[in-house]
């Protein structure tokens, strides 16, 4: 993952949490579960996460 990548939950125990997004603003590398989608882009990350 890179800074400003969007992380989206693709499954959840609660329907309200499916497709919830966060923006990774850190510089460290992280790991996410297989139930997450990561979006690389060149747009305003916070705006995209808000729109999703």
For the chain, the distance separating the N- and C-terminal CA atoms, rounded to the nearest angstrom, is 19
Q: Compute φ and ψ for 28, nearest 5 degrees.
A: -80, 155
pLDDT at residue 34 in the model: 83
pLDDT at 42 over 90: yes
Tokens of 22: 């966060």
Return the number of other C-beta atoms located less than 10 Å from residue 27's C-beta: 7
Residue 20 pLDDT grade (very low, low, confident, very high; cuts 50, 70, 90): confident
pLDDT at 32 over 80: yes
| Contact present, 6 and 52 (Cβ < 8 Å) | yes
Residue 6 pLDDT grade (very low, low, confident, very high; cuts 50, 70, 90): very high
The arithmetic mean of pLDDT across residues 34-40, rounded, is: 87
pLDDT at residue 33 in the model: 82
pLDDT at residue 18 in the model: 85
């Amino acid at each position: 993952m890179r800074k400003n990548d969007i992380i989206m939950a693709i499954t959840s125990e609660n329907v309200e949490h499916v497709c919830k997004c966060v923006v990774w603003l850190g510089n460290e590398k992280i790991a996410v579960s297989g139930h997450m989608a990561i979006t690389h882009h060149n747009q305003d990350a916070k705006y995209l996460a808000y729109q999703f």
